[in-house]
Amino acid sequence: MAENIREIALDALLVLEKSDEYSHHLVRAVLDKYAFLPARDRAFFKRVVEGTVERRLELDYYLESYSSLPPKKMKPLIRCLLRMSVYQLCCMDSVPDRAVCDEACKLAAKRGFRNLRGFVNGVLRTISREKNALPLPRRDQEPIRFLSVKYSMPEWLVRLWLDEYGIEITETLLGGLMEIHPVCLRFRTDLSGNRREELLDSLRRTGAVLRQSAYLPYMYFLESGPKDGMAGGMNSLPGFASGELTVQDVSSALAVEAAGIGKDDFVIDVCAAPGGKSILAAEKAARVLARDISEEKADLIRENIARMGTGNIEVQVFDGREFDESLQGTADVVLLDVPCSGLGVIGKKRDIKYRVTPEGLEALRELQRDIVRCAGRLVKPGGTLAYSTCTINRVENEEMVRFIASLPEFAPVSLEDRLPSGLLEQKRRLEELLEQNKGAAGETGTKLSDKEKAACIQLLPGYMESDGFFIALFCRK
């Protein structure tokens, strides 16, 4: 392992501590900068930074238990150094404990804290000795704090999901969010079966391990990358640069599938960046208009369109909160993946959970309603409005179903024939479990009619093979 890889990780954590940058953006930027490093070092950096961010609340609880100084009063560098070191001790069996402690002390001295080497060493040695019996809050006395620490989730979010789902579903969900989330690859739907198999063989020959999605046959999970690493990024994968495959979450593709797009349809994707749904829709439709709020987002869509070689998409910069009279009643399908809290993708964007607030959720609801009011007017009579979010929050999901269904021009449409049968069966089992949980949202939360329930699905990690995602379908009368 390169001597300075831990220092690179420490510097990344310090940047995250002092700025508003998201960890997944920073990790990607650092890996691009250090593309020359061996695959083993790059993998170590990625895991340490992402794992330390993801488990921050749990790591701080251990530090509070074994340190005379609470983490919030430590120097930022020492706090980040101890967090990443405790993560290595507790979550990375391949790293020797002695190496973790020794390297942490060296880094503290190198960065101007020679006088704190004894403190760093003492805390880490103690946690190393007791790591198989580290304390947690008492589940029977502090159930919310127990779940918060065990799954490193802010207490207010634990309460939110306990109120909505009950204890059994919430704990499964929390565990699902912490599972490893492999990259999902989507093959072009117009590829022949033989060509797809050729690309799969080429990918496997690089050492990549792939698993086909249980829901969509053209989607595969990249369980592990090429043996030589991915110094060239996704472009190093066979078929990526040529536009025969792309990165897209299963849940995003399911939202397009649910919309039931026909070959002669005109589709408007209102909040389209980075363009995954627009491109998949274009493989099914006659014409797609992809819009988003800024030139930066529009450029990202154009970049993906160019690589995929998709010719029937037009890209425009447009604010979804504004109504475009020129397109009133023209769209066969409107895809509406609105800005949301992102609570369903915490497993990939690990610092979202530390930034979202109850007040922010309330502001999002008004934004989402404004976009729905404008986008809904673009749908032609008999056309489809496909609403979606990447969150797990009834205010942004089920309550929005009630709001859209209350508009006189829209009616809910059943997903029964729009989604894979296996996924719909999982939906039914989850709904049954929800009904069995006393105090869950089936009794205290948003109450949907049978038609409204049939028109929407909440994908939950731990129960479904996807991120946390919500899809709801409506027809314009």
φ, ψ for residue 150 (rounded to 5)? -60, -40
Rounded to whole angstroms, the Cα distance separating 184 from 182 reads 6
Per-residue burial over 338-377, b if 16 or more Cβ lie within 10 Å, else e, is bebbbbbbbbbbbbbbeebeeeebeebbeebbbbbebbbb
CA-CA distance, 11 to 5, in Å (whole number)?
Answer: 10
Count the Cβ atoms, other than its own, within 10 Å of residue 68.
7
Active site residue 101: no
CA neighbor of 382 nearest in space, from 472, 455, 473, 477: 477
Q: Which of 90, 105, 390, 456 is catalytic?
A: 390
* 397 burial level (CB within 10 Å; 0-12, 13-18, 19+): buried
According to DSSP, the residues that pair with 212 across neighbouring strands are 220
- List active site positions: 390
